[in-house]
A and B are shown apart, each in its own frame.
Chain A
């Protein structure tokens, strides 16, 4: 049985539901509400599907003003709110509770302004990640963060989780690509945090907001940087006999002063599954595969890939293959980006998201195999080698409660290992409910108190996205709405 604890619903609020529905109807109209159970059930989970709770109500606002009215009403009536974008969170970041209202901003998906001269775009936060780039690609620009779920995930979700992607080695993650947001606080106040200038005025509140997992407010608009698209890009594939050789090769590439736009690592299990799915031409007889991509003009790409091939040769690679054409490049990336889906076709899996210092890779992979073997589980590993973000995919059978429980425990053990090795619990997926209780392995009680006090500044009664990010036991009193109880001392 899945073992992450979820708080008991507040029956008092559930009893008041008919009144709350009428109240919201009178403020924003009935068309925005989803009241019927079938409709609500569509929002019962996100991409962390082992946990499901049907929310008592779903609201789909179309404007910032409506978001403000809804939050103000919820605040005045002491109702919990779970913000939601597309529901693609892998850690239960948008999992509802039965006594909460899901506030889903997916209908707010308009492009508000594109300013090529200043290289920025202002967007409603419900727009999908890929749609941003689709709107500006014609002029030679793109929006850089590229999480694997970019077809579906919303900008709002990216902001909440500070999402990364395969190309963040060069272009950074969400927090490096956003200039400002419009956010609604729980009391309905609309605030502009940051703006369109490069520098922030005063405290860097934007840094606190990005990656705060819906704990501080509901973002309705954002201004993002537009980046000029490279002249060209091409990946190469290098197959190795051991994880050590691959890891050392990555170190050597960086030591040579080359920062590729992406360095992706796949282990044997991941290669097999992805190749079966995408037919990308991945070598099947290697223990570790690096996909290294560089950007530039045709001649620059040629020279850089040549240099990387020379460096790789020092580590006795089994195969070195430069992508022959655009079609193969697309397939190489399609295979990698579809990795989760491809593995999902053969098995249920838990996708972990720890980070480790690169030098620890061989040791980490050995330990991960051991940990999973102890629980009788198989694992496939995908690793953003350039930035240390490791994604072990633990395979299990969701219909077997014992396996499901073991997978969760193995996952937790792996994340603790990442922290021990000098890394962290999550590189890009966020904490959500999944890693909530593990926060104490990475952070001291004081570290957490410092973060929780920030939450209290923005959301004094802790009505937003409860029971996530922070361990349940230390948030009991605040979740009950007692702001004064935010830890004064750890």
Chain B
């Protein structure tokens, strides 16, 4: 068991990292542990958790802005927001349950460190897009800030957004400031039944090209749709293509009719009321259609929507799989049988030919230590990446090996 550091304040976190940096001791950075079974396994001498840095430090509902210490659990933030009729619009995804880690343990720092956003990303942008500012401590033990609390801020290099998706390898965020949004007044879902993947993605694309502000565009092939829990869709026994509308109650019916007209050729959809809609899309927040199992591995593939069905079909030639298309096809969650390389060779080849990149989300720790978890970088990008790592963390102490084997 590594030595555990649990700072209770920003200054304490800074002084701990400064000391560890002087001693050149490797630091694994964690929150409450929601992401510990995801990504490569960091090699470290000590563990530093942000779980002691909790609490909302600023909330201005009429300016749509909130600041919170990085260890604040997302569910606490969402409760505070809901009490004022607001939300985190980008619907952070809690990977805990799908990866065998605890559920409900996702911290707001982890959300921005991974930039894993949920279904509403297609309408409101990613976690990164909604980030306004950070305070953080880099691997030199320096406390710095970037961005601020206002929506627009172009003073200097956008370090705050540059830290998103860096998995704690550049700096440990101590406080984040982000946009919040009003909860939609009402919501409904249209579920088209039985479409093959390519037609489903086409239908989602048509919906996304309308001005109806679609806030969720998901396709579940039959073997994935069967895993849904929402009663109305549970027993359908066919693929489901799901479109969520969220707006004012005065507009929802008008928009629904327009959407049905635009997608007439794809059949008559099942309609879900607001309560059913809420239940359905909540399932995606915890990836419940991709339940934890040691018999399978889970990939996350980012690509062009029109290429997504081809990628899934290409991989299926080599192994059985279960796909969950989100973001109208721009994101694929793909479950494949557990194997020595978690299917990496075939997955990466299928993606490389068609464009995009794949991240291994779930596999045994030994596999995540031997295959590339993140898509390997092109040489010139790797050079810049190493440069950035070295600028923030010259001794390579923070989450060493968490993203890439060599740094």
Segment of B46-54, B57-65, B281-289 in the binding face? B57-65
CB atoms of B156 and A469 under 8 A apart: yes
Q: Does A18 belong to the interface (CB within 8 Å)?
A: no
- Quick one: given A172-B125, A257-B185, A458-B384, are A431 and B391 in contact (CB under 8 Å)? no
Q: Does A427 belong to the interface (CB within 8 Å)?
A: yes
8 Å CB contact of B250 from A300, A384, A424, A447: A300
Closest A residue to B356 by CB, please name it.
Answer: A197
CB atoms of B304 and A196 under 8 A apart: yes
Closest B residue to A199 by CB, please name it.
Answer: B302
Name the interface residues of B179-216: CB closer than 8 Å to any CB of A: 181-183, 185, 202, 205, 208-211
Which of B355, B356, B378, B391 has the most chain A CB atoms inside 10 A of its CB? B391
Q: A195-B356, A205-B388 are in contact. List 10 more A-B contacts (CB 8 A).
A: A116-B209, A118-B306, A195-B355, A197-B304, A203-B170, A207-B128, A257-B183, A297-B251, A389-B150, A424-B155
8 Å CB contact of A424 from B148, B248, B355: B148
CB atoms of B211 and A117 under 8 A apart: no
* Those 10 A-B pairs whose CB atoms lie nearest each other, nearest first: A207-B161, A457-B387, A257-B182, A387-B151, A427-B152, A199-B302, A251-B62, A453-B391, A201-B357, A355-B150
CB atoms of A303 and B64 under 8 A apart: no
Residues on B with C-beta less than 8 A from A198 are: 121, 126, 302, 327, 330-331
Residues on A with C-beta less than 8 A from B144 are: 444, 446-447, 449-450
CB atoms of A201 and B302 under 8 A apart: yes
CB atoms of B156 and A204 under 8 A apart: no
Closest A residue to B142 by CB, please name it.
Answer: A446
Give the CA-CA distance A446 to B254 in the complex, in Å.
53
Give the CA-CA distance A172 to B132 in the complex, in Å.
12
CB atoms of B182 and A259 under 8 A apart: yes
CB atoms of B254 and A300 under 8 A apart: yes
Summed over the interface, the residue pairs from A and B with CB atoms below 8 Å come to a total of: 260
Give the CA-CA distance A382 to B188 in the complex, in Å.
39
Name the interface residues of A175-198: CB closer than 8 Å to any CB of B: 175-176, 189-193, 195-198
Name the interface residues of A148-181: CB closer than 8 Å to any CB of B: 161-162, 164, 168-169, 172-173, 175-176
Residues on B with C-beta less than 8 A from A469 are: 156-157
CB atoms of B254 and A299 under 8 A apart: yes
Name the interface residues of B140-158: CB closer than 8 Å to any CB of A: 140, 142-146, 148-158
Closest B residue to A215 by CB, please name it.
Answer: B157
Give the CA-CA distance A211 to B156 in the complex, in Å.
7
Report A489 CB to chain B, min CB distance, Å. Answer: 7
8 Å CB contact of B377 from A201, A427, A439, A453: A201
Secondary structure dominating the interface of A? loop
Q: Does B320 belong to the interface (CB within 8 Å)?
A: no
CB atoms of A202 and B381 under 8 A apart: yes
Give the CA-CA distance A300 to B211 in the complex, in Å.
12
Residues on B with C-beta less than 8 A from A196 are: 304, 355
CB atoms of B162 and A255 under 8 A apart: no
8 Å CB contact of A257 from B85, B156, B356, B392: B85
CB atoms of A202 and B374 under 8 A apart: yes
Q: Does B78 belong to the interface (CB within 8 Å)?
A: no
- Quick one: given A199-B331, A202-B403, are A447 and B146 in contact (CB under 8 Å)? yes
A-B contact pairs, 14 of them (CB 8 A): A117-B202, A118-B306, A196-B304, A202-B374, A203-B165, A203-B389, A229-B211, A251-B62, A259-B182, A355-B148, A356-B150, A359-B60, A424-B153, A426-B153
Q: Does A2 belong to the interface (CB within 8 Å)?
A: no
8 Å CB contact of B380 from A117, A189, A423: A189
Closest B residue to A435 by CB, please name it.
Answer: B155
Residues on B with C-beta less than 8 A from A117 are: 202, 205, 305-306
Residues on A with C-beta less than 8 A from B150 are: 355-357, 387-389, 422-424, 427
CB atoms of A205 and B385 under 8 A apart: yes
CB atoms of B208 and A208 under 8 A apart: no
CB atoms of B159 and A450 under 8 A apart: yes
Q: Does B15 belong to the interface (CB within 8 Å)?
A: no
Report B322 CB to chain A, min CB distance, Å. Answer: 21
Q: Does B375 belong to the interface (CB within 8 Å)?
A: yes
CB atoms of B251 and A228 under 8 A apart: no
CB atoms of B381 and A255 under 8 A apart: no
Q: How large is the interface on A (under 10, 10 to 19, 20 to 34, 35 or more residues)?
A: 35 or more
CB atoms of B152 and A118 under 8 A apart: no
CB atoms of B154 and A211 under 8 A apart: yes
8 Å CB contact of A203 from B205, B208, B388, B390: B388
Name the interface residues of A383-441: CB closer than 8 Å to any CB of B: 384, 386-389, 422-431, 435, 439
Residues on A with C-beta less than 8 A from B128 are: 204, 207
CB atoms of A162 and B158 under 8 A apart: yes
8 Å CB contact of B162 from A189, A204, A259, A356: A204
Closest B residue to A217 by CB, please name it.
Answer: B384
Closest B residue to A229 by CB, please name it.
Answer: B211
Q: Does A35 belong to the interface (CB within 8 Å)?
A: no
Residues on B with C-beta less than 8 A from A389 are: 150-152
Q: Does A130 belong to the interface (CB within 8 Å)?
A: no
CB atoms of B388 and A427 under 8 A apart: no
Residues on B with C-beta less than 8 A from A257 are: 85, 182-183, 185
Report A467 CB to chain B, min CB distance, Å. Answer: 15
Residues on B with C-beta less than 8 A from A118 are: 205, 304-306
Q: Does B166 belong to the interface (CB within 8 Å)?
A: yes
Give the CA-CA distance A117 to B121 in the complex, in Å.
18
CB atoms of B157 and A454 under 8 A apart: yes
8 Å CB contact of A228 from B162, B208, B355: B208
Residues on B with C-beta less than 8 A from A428 are: 152, 154
Give the CA-CA distance A18 to B178 in the complex, in Å.
53
Q: Does B164 belong to the interface (CB within 8 Å)?
A: yes
Q: Does A374 belong to the interface (CB within 8 Å)?
A: no
CB atoms of A197 and B357 under 8 A apart: yes
Q: Does B395 belong to the interface (CB within 8 Å)?
A: no
Give the CA-CA distance A55 to B313 in the complex, in Å.
56
Q: Does A140 belong to the interface (CB within 8 Å)?
A: yes
Report B302 CB to chain A, min CB distance, Å. Answer: 4
Residues on A with C-beta less than 8 A from B63 are: 251, 254, 357-359, 388
Closest A residue to B251 by CB, please name it.
Answer: A300
Q: Does A86 belong to the interface (CB within 8 Å)?
A: no
Q: Does B129 belong to the interface (CB within 8 Å)?
A: yes
Give the CA-CA distance A189 to B183 in the complex, in Å.
46
Q: Does B174 belong to the interface (CB within 8 Å)?
A: no
Q: Does B115 belong to the interface (CB within 8 Å)?
A: yes
Q: Does B241 belong to the interface (CB within 8 Å)?
A: no
Residues on A with C-beta less than 8 A from B166 are: 203-204
Give the CA-CA distance A443 to B143 in the complex, in Å.
12
Q: Does A212 belong to the interface (CB within 8 Å)?
A: yes
8 Å CB contact of A200 from B64, B125, B155, B165: B165
Give the CA-CA distance A358 to B152 in the complex, in Å.
12
CB atoms of A193 and B381 under 8 A apart: yes
